[in-house]
A and B are shown apart, each in its own frame.
Chain A
């Protein structure tokens, strides 16, 4: 059974701090790893990673995948209160067109 584990479960930081969110996985026939941000409603897409060692970057957010050690990290630098959200990691497998999600990391950024 495919499994995705995120840590920490929750995190409280102050504006300007840098945070690292972790995602480890056990998936048969790994295809891709995705990061989503969820505020009050629907998750919104951040990154898709398929290759080890290649960093994806968007503004203050960046992510990297390690396929050998089966994990990914999401970094947020110079955090802002608008970064407060639940961050979801999901893994896609070649076996069936579906994603397996982790339980999420709840990030709260205080002013």
Chain B
């Protein structure tokens, strides 16, 4: 089925380990995003990408790395996980820029719940 899928759904890792969260979309959307969601902070943007090989930092990018070698994939890597990175991570995509005329808002994956012990 078309859509946006994240894997794994749940992950437990230890402090200092590298972990990669996967995101795959089948719509060929140009724009992809990574958000983290924490109580009291809502959704905060980590990184986004306007197209393959084009990425840019969001509000909370420290400690994270992304790549976009193919349009459909946008993996997020925590280089050395810390407890403060325990969170729910959402990947999202959009077909075009989020203009006022756009009828295609962000489409979210179901999230990855990451726990760093």
Contacts and interface: CB of A to CB of B under 8 A. Distances in A.
Interface residues of B, number: 28
B102 to A, nearest CB: 8
Nearest to A32: B100
A88 B42 contact: yes
B38 to A, nearest CB: 9
A32 B99 contact: yes
A interface, size bucket:
20 to 34
What is the predominant secondary structure among interface residues of chain A facing chain B?
strand
Contacts of B108: 42-44
Contacts of A97: 31, 48, 50, 94, 97-98
A88 B110 contact: no
A48 B105 CA distance: 8
Contacts of B101: 50
Contacts of B100: 31-32, 48, 50-51
A103 B98 contact: no
Nearest to B30: A97
- Most chain-A Cβ atoms within 10 A of its Cβ — which of B42, B44, B59, B106? B42
B98 A32 contact: yes
Interface in A56-111: 88, 90, 92, 96-104
A99 B106 contact: yes
B45 A42 contact: no
Nearest to A102: B42
A47 B41 CA distance: 21
Given A42-B90, A43-B108, A97-B98, A103 B31 contact: no
A52 to B, nearest CB: 12
B62 to A, nearest CB: 16
Contacts of A88: 42-43
Interface of B: 31, 33, 35, 40-45, 48, 50, 56, 58-59, 90, 94, 97-102, 105-106, 108-111
Given A43-B108, A97-B50, A99-B106, 14 more contacts: A6-B42, A31-B98, A31-B100, A32-B98, A42-B108, A42-B109, A43-B106, A48-B100, A50-B101, A92-B98, A97-B94, A98-B48, A101-B43, A103-B40
